[in-house]
Every structure is written in C-alpha cells, then in structure tokens.
Amino acid sequence: MSHKRVVVIGGGPAGMMAAGVASQRGFKTFLLERNSITGKKLRITGKGRCNITATGSLDDFIKNIPTHGDFLKPAFSHFFSQHTIDFFKNLGVETKTERGGRVFPVSNQAHDVANALENFVKKIR
C-alpha cells in the first residue's frame, strides 16, 4: 500500500498551517523544527500581541508591495484576510479589528495564536 507523505521544514506559522492542512488532506505529515518550540518568533511578534492580518482589498494590499506585487494575486485570490480570520476562528481564536484595519486576537496575546496553530498541528496523524 502506498502512503502519501509530506515533510514540512520549519515550525513557524506557515509551516504549522502547511503541516496541519496537509494532514487534513490525508497526507502522513512530519513537521521538523530546529527550535525547542514551534512558533518561537510568532510568540513575540507585534510586541506580544500578534497582528494576524489586515482588512482591506486585495488591490490595496498589492499597492503596498514595493515591487511587482501582482505575482501574489493568484495565491491571495484563494486565501486572503477573511480566510485567515475564519481559519483562526475555527481554531478558537477570536479576533478584533483595530485602526488601520489591523487584526489582532481579542486576548491581545500572541501566545494564543501560536498555541492554536500548535494544537492544529498536534492533530496530525
């Protein structure tokens, strides 16, 4: 019997999301992280508050990319701000939007975001 396998290198936010989603899609998934904990930098981002995403249109976002941001449009047309907010809500992280459209966890704790991603990854089978 052939098993689909995925190895994700790096336990930051993108790595944890990739590993969790790959597992949900039926892949036998391995997450490799060199630090003693996953999400190490995430836990201190935004002065410990973690700016999860920003609201606003895709075009507004692309305009703020210094050079040639159009290459991001295909990816962001599939997963953008509201998807991110919904993703974290499904993990139990409620969010709030502050001035400038910045989105933070209601708790103002980056650890809550990192822990939610870590728990998402722990569901890997």
| pTM of this structure | 0.88
Q: What is the pLDDT of residues 9-68, one digit of tens each?
A: 999 999 999 999 999 998 999 999 999 999 999 999 888 999 999 999 999 888 888 888
d(CA 41, CA 49): 12
Cα separation, 112 vs 84, in Å, equals: 15
Sorted by where each starts, the structural domains of the chain and their CATH numbers stand as 5-122 (3.50.50.60)
